[in-house]
Structures are given as C-alpha cells and as structure tokens.
Amino acid sequence: MASAAEQTGSPEQAENPLTAGLERLPVAPTTLVIFGATGDLARRKLLPALYNLAHDGALPERFHLIGVSRKEKENEDYREECEEAIKRFSRRKPDEDVLKGLLDSVKYVPGTFDDPEVYKELKTCLDAFEKEAGEPLNRAFYLSTAPSFFPVIVDQLGESELAHHPDAEVRLIIEKPFGTTLEEARELNRKVLSRFEESQVYRIDHYLGKETVQNMMAFRFANGMFEPLWNRNFIDSVQITAAEDLGIGTRADYYDEAGALRDLIQNHMLQLLCHVAMEPPVSFTAEEVRNEKVKVLKAIPEPTVAEIGEMALRAQYTAGHAGGEDVPGYLQEEGVPEGSKTETYAALRLEVDNWRWAGVPFYLRTGKRLARKVTEIAVTLKPVPHLAFSQDGSLGVQPNQLVLTLQPNEGVSLRLGAKIPGTRMIIRPVNMEFLYGTAFLSQSPEAYERLITDAMRGDATLFTRNDEVEAQWRICDPIVKAWHPSQEPGPPVATYPAGSQGPAEADGLLREGDRWRAI
C-alpha cells in the first residue's frame, strides 16, 4: 500500500501524511473567546461542549478560553461558574483531572461590549497566550450575546485590530438570529463584511450540526435507489413538520418578539427544505454544498402581499390539555403581552420553481403546544396510475410515503401497500421502518461539539453563508411584514387548543386532495 507521502509528494509540500486513517483530524492551536460568556447558551451548550471535546481529546493541542461579559468578576470566579455549568449540563460526568486541565488557563474579561478598554484587555490576554505558546494561535470569536450587540462587537473587534492576524486565522462565529428582517440581515452582513472576510464568518444554525440533518445528505446521495424518484415526475408533495409539545415556558420575552416563523421556519426549516430539494453537489466542500442550497432558496418565489393569505397561516394556542394536564393558552402565559398577535404556529406552502420541483408543493409547519414533539420530512409519491384490482374492502390503496424522522427516534419509514392475508386481494398500508439508533454503536455528539470543532478547523460546510441568510429572509420577509403588529387589522390569527393537531384553518393551505400528516 502506498503511503500518503508517496501519493502526494514530500511531506513538506503535501497534506500531513500522519492524518490518514485518523477519525479525529487535527485542529490548529486556538484561543476561543466567548462574548456573552455568562449567558444561558454558554452555560448550557458551549461550555459543556468544550468539556466533552476535551474529554475526548478533540480540542486543539493548545487551547485557551476567554470569557467576555458585562458582569464584574475575577478569573477564579468565572472558572467556578464554568465548572458548575459543566457539571450540571455535560452529557457525561466530568473527569476531575480533565476538567481542571480545561479550566486552568481560562480567563475572564469583564466589561460592556462597546467599551474599547475591554478589547484592549482582550488583546493583552490573547497576546499573553501566544507568548506563552511561543507561536501564533488562531482566534475564534464566538458571539453568544443578544443580537443587538453583534454589530457593536464586530465594530470593536475591527477598531481594535483583532479582526485579522498576520500569522494566524481569525474566525467569527455568530449565533442566530442573524437579523429579524431582510433589511436587518443585510445591514448586519454589511457590517460584518466591512470588518471580516466572508471566509472568516461562521453563522451558526445548530440544526445543521445535528447528525440527523447530515444524515439526510447521506440518505439522498449515498443511495442510488432514491435519486431516480427524487423529482416532480414521481413526488407529489413534501411536508416538513417541526412540532413541539411544550409551550413557551419562561421565554416569553424572546418568543413574543420572534414568533414561530422567525424562530424556526426562516432558518432551520428552510435549511431542511434545502437538504430535500438541493441538487447533488459536485463535492462536499463548504462552497459546493452552500452553492446548491442557495440555488434552491433562489428558486422559491418571494410571496406577494396578495399571495400571503393563501400560502401562509399563523395561529396561537389556547388553553387545552397537554401531557395529561390542563395548560394555559399563549395569552395566559407569564410575560406575554395582553392581546399579542405573535404566532405560536406557522404553516407555509412554498414552491421550488426549477426543473426538478416545478409544481410540487412544499408544506412547512411548526408550532408550540401541539400533540407531540416530532421533526420530520414526509415525501409523498404520486399514486400508481392504474389499479389492477378492486379496492373493495381495502383500507385505501395509498401513495407510497417516505418519512425521514429527525427527532425523536431518528429514522426512515417507507409506507407500502401490502395484501392482507386471506383469499381476497385486499390492500392496506404497512410501514417498512429503519431506526438509526438500532444500527449504530456510537452516540451522536452534541451539535455544538461538532460546530465548534468545525469552526476551529475552518470547515464552513455546516454554517450558513451570507447569501444563504439573505435568500432565506427574502422568502420570509414579506410574511413577517404582513404579520407585524403594525399591520392593522392584518391577516387573522387562528387558534388551536393546546395539545391538538394545530388549527383547522391550516387545511386551507393544502392543494385539493392533500392532507396534513397526523402529528
């Protein structure tokens, strides 16, 4: 067997010959700076993800963490907070020695994000880590703050000359939401790209870090049997559902501003649609995959004001029963403003106007307090053109349906027609099920573990590009505007009882003969 050195020339010119066969690829030495270091996301997701990477030996050879936040505190106090958060939220019980090793060099920089002194202090810390290492260290700035601070931090990083480094990579990781309207997204993109190159920017959509979403690409592009069917000739409709059985909990402040459309459809669900509808990329590099996704988004027409009533529906849950208990309606939830029109349910009918998908409706729906928690993509095939036997006594000869379940119970189910045992030719639908959990030994890493590693490695495949974000907003922005409280009276807000299948009015979006799948 030829070694990598033989295949690619001398190690000096070639890729690292020692990485062949390794499951875990090297990550360049990096200092990660978390803005919003004491916030909920940092405590619940980012710090536990960093611990688990450390536990698995997956952090860079040299790794440092700096937390930046408004609250005044000492390094030691912040380390204790990190330790507490990791012990509470890590998916595995921390090893004390590993935890100590991770936290030993953690620094904390207090101050407001618009204060240039904060960035001077930050630079001092970054330089000290480099001096100690004796080599330049890559820098990753993770914006885990309220979105209103994104432009402020980006500006300050630029002003303090932290956006570039002559001898190392500097990366900017931005949490969602990336704007709340198309104009805001464009403005934020302009601001970010005035200080950073697009290749430095990693916009997080944590759905893309889920194994389940990545599996969709494997499902489509590693299996020859589906591709010949994957077009308007064989596929009748596509339904994408992201249903939650829980209410808004204590997130009234955020949720009443965002609503279901911006919370899930504008980002996660449009990404799922892209994965269903995209053409096979030439290669699985970041640019090729994202190019194909952008093409899909561009093929979805921007709805006109007149069309919105026919292709979009909003609704709110009312009091009902969930999990065997009485639960309040949205307007009775703590912190929700009186008379709020914010949608807790949104459904859209979209079309992808290209050669492959013309005429195939893509139905998207998401909601809180629905009957069950499920995220799935259901692809319904066209019915058979002719039935050679009577349907008398059959439970309906139904079109084949392929359901990709993302959560819970990730898997694939194919609905087929089968003969009921007996003397007559009577058909009923049966399911052929495949569950990912039954077929693999490994535990899926948390989405943030994968995304943080990819960002530090400079692999942008699972991050959203600027034109992708804007293309997503272009589709949703007219609906956001039409549903804005300032639009009086605006389209009606339908209602649905908590714990139900959603509003009956959602049926109005469907083409004749189509039905929503039971949640």
Partner 1 sequence: MSRIDAVWSEQGTSPDRIEAALRQLLVEVHAEHSDFAPARVLNMIAFVDREWSGEIANRLRGVGRYHASRMVVLSYEPDREQLDARVMIAAEGDPAPGELALLRETVVVDLGDRHMDDLLTIADPLVVTDLPTLLWSPHGHHEIVSELMPLAQAVLLDSVVEPDAREAVDRALELTHEAYVVDLAWLRSTPWRERVAAMFDPTRLRRELCSLSSVTVRHHADSTAAATLLVGWLGSRLDWELGPLAVGDGGRAGTARAGDQEISVKLQTDPQLQVPGLAGVTIETAAGLSLSLDRGPGGLRARLTEPGGEPREWTIPGASRGETGVLGEGIRQALLRDPTYLPALAAARRMLA
204: tokens are 């997080």
C-alpha closest to that of 242 among 62, 368, 151:
368
Contact 31, 139 (CB under 8 A): yes
C-alpha closest to that of 117 among 128, 125, 107, 106:
125
Task: Find the shortest distance in angstroms from Cβ 105 to partner 1.
Answer: 9
For position 12 contacting partner 1 by CB under 8 A, the verdict is yes
Q: What residue ranges in 199-291 does DSSP mark as E strands?
A: 201-203, 235-243
- By beta-carbon proximity to partner 1, the closer residue of 133 and 480 is 133
- By beta-carbon proximity to partner 1, the closer residue of 167 and 338 is 167
Task: Find the shortest distance in angstroms from Cβ 453 to partner 1.
Answer: 13
Contact 463, 208 (CB under 8 A): yes
Task: Find the shortest distance in angstroms from Cβ 25 to partner 1.
Answer: 8
At 90, which amino acid appears? S
For position 166 contacting partner 1 by CB under 8 A, the verdict is no
Site size toward partner 1 (CB under 8 A) is 56
| Subset of 182-241 contacting partner 1 (CB under 8 A) | none
| Subset of 56-85 contacting partner 1 (CB under 8 A) | 56-57, 59-63
> Distance between CA atoms of 89 and 82, rounded to whole angstroms?
10
325: tokens are 């208990």
Stretch in the footprint of partner 1 (CB under 8 A) among 18-26, 182-190, 269-277, 378-386: 18-26
Which of 54, 65, 66, 479 is in the footprint of partner 1 by CB under 8 A?
Answer: 54
> Distance between CA atoms of 308 and 138, rounded to whole angstroms?
46
| Subset of 442-471 contacting partner 1 (CB under 8 A) | 442-443
Stretch in the footprint of partner 1 (CB under 8 A) among 16-24, 172-180, 189-197, 209-217: 16-24
272: tokens are 């799922």
3-state SS string for 391-422: CCCCCCCCCCEEEEEEECCCEEEEEEEEECCC
Catalytic residues: 268
End-to-end CA distance of the chain: 53
- By beta-carbon proximity to partner 1, the closer residue of 4 and 258 is 4
- By beta-carbon proximity to partner 1, the closer residue of 77 and 96 is 96
For position 135 contacting partner 1 by CB under 8 A, the verdict is yes
Contact 496, 345 (CB under 8 A): yes
Residue 63 β-bridge partners: 30
For position 482 contacting partner 1 by CB under 8 A, the verdict is no
> Distance between CA atoms of 346 and 380, rounded to whole angstroms?
21
For position 388 contacting partner 1 by CB under 8 A, the verdict is no
Task: Find the shortest distance in angstroms from Cβ 406 to partner 1.
Answer: 13
Task: Find the shortest distance in angstroms from Cβ 36 to partner 1.
Answer: 24
- By beta-carbon proximity to partner 1, the closer residue of 24 and 71 is 24
10 Å CB burial of residue 167 (0-12, 13-18, 19+) is exposed
For position 4 contacting partner 1 by CB under 8 A, the verdict is yes
For position 11 contacting partner 1 by CB under 8 A, the verdict is yes
Q: What residue has token string 């592009």?
A: 221
Stretch in the footprint of partner 1 (CB under 8 A) among 13-21, 223-231, 268-276, 393-401: 13-21
> Distance between CA atoms of 47 and 42, rounded to whole angstroms?
6
Task: Find the shortest distance in angstroms from Cβ 366 to partner 1.
Answer: 17
**Four-CA torsion 194, 453, 465, 251, nearest 10 degrees:** -90
Which of 71, 88, 120, 373 is in the footprint of partner 1 by CB under 8 A?
Answer: 373
Task: Find the shortest distance in angstroms from Cβ 372 to partner 1.
Answer: 7
Site of interaction with partner 1 (CB under 8 A): 1, 3-6, 10-12, 16-24, 26-29, 54-57, 59-63, 95-102, 104, 132-135, 372-374, 408-409, 435, 437-443
